[in-house]
Structure 1
Amino acid sequence: MEKIDEINQFDNLVKTKNKFFLLKHSITCPVSQAAYQEYQKFADDHKDIPTYFLTVQDSRPLSNEIADKYQIKHESPQAILFSNTEAVWHASHWKIKNQSLASAFSDNE
């Protein structure tokens, strides 16, 4: 699991990774902390799947860019699966679970 902060880092991921997850995380929200723990467990259990995160407090321009570019209303926490340069799945709040992430990945093979 790797933190990204800049738009150019994200753009590089879209260009170079066929498929990856991104979590928008708020460091001040307890619901986001729970989602972050689920996301981290998923990343630990699936080391072959690229997983990234941003903190909305540190990376507001990037968070807004993703919301605008992919027409996904910003929420925090929010997990997004990108595949072939497109956002193919997203979930927020209590829907971010290890199992829901695994299912989203396999459903979008």
Structure 2
Amino acid sequence: MFKKLFGSKEPKEEKVLPWIALNSVEQLSAIEEKSKTKPQLIFKHSTRCGISRMVINQFIELYDVDANADLYYLDLLSYREVSNETGYKFQVMHQSPQLLVIKNRVVVAQASHGAINDLDLSRFV
């Protein structure tokens, strides 16, 4: 009973996703090109936002690591220029947190905040 209330002292194994750091504008052209043959996912995250932190933690728990897609992580506070260019290049309005699914050079799905974890990625990858 106490383990259920207070948790066990055993450390929980942390799930690690195959993140690719998105930290340059030049990478966006490569992402666009690679999207012709493999879905590209961009997770835009604000490291100062509690909601963003909660959503990314849930995303990590729910993400199927075997998904056939490249998964990019964009720290939009550190790389504001890359975040802005992402919006221009893929014609999406900036939100945070935000997940973009890119196939054949266009965004085929996007979600922000809690809707990120409601997005059925299996439809796109």
Question: TM-score, length-normalised on structure 2?
Answer: 0.74
Which of 69, 80, 99 is matched with 1:60 structurally? 80
The answer to whether 1:106 aligns with 2:122 is yes
Could you list the runs of 5+ residues in structure 2 that have no partner in the other structure? 1-18
**Cα pair 1:20 1:83 within 8 Å, conserved:** yes
Q: Could you tell me which residue of structure 1 aligns to residue 45 of structure 2?
A: 25
Q: Deviations over 1:4-59 (max 9, x none)?
A: 1101122212212421211110000011001211232344x233332111011111
In structure 2, C-alpha distance between the alignment counterparts of 1:66 and 1:56, rounded to whole Å? 10
Q: Could you tell me which residue of structure 2 aligns to residue 96 of structure 1?
A: 116
Identity of aligned residues (%): 26
Could you list the runs of 5+ residues in structure 1 that have no partner in the other structure? none
Q: Could you tell me which residue of structure 1 aligns to residue 26 of structure 2?
A: 8
In structure 1, C-alpha distance between the alignment counterparts of 2:101 and 2:82, rounded to whole Å? 16
Q: List aligned pairs for 1:74-93, cutoff 5 A.
A: 74-93=94-113
Q: What is the CA distance between 1:71 and its match in structure 2?
A: 2.0
Aligned residues: 104
Secondary structure of the structure 1 residue equivalent to 2:23? coil
**Cα pair 1:56 1:63 within 8 Å, conserved:** yes
Structure number with bigger Rg: 2
Question: TM-score, length-normalised on structure 1?
Answer: 0.83
Please give the root-mean-square deviation of Cα atoms over the aligned residues, in Å: 1.7
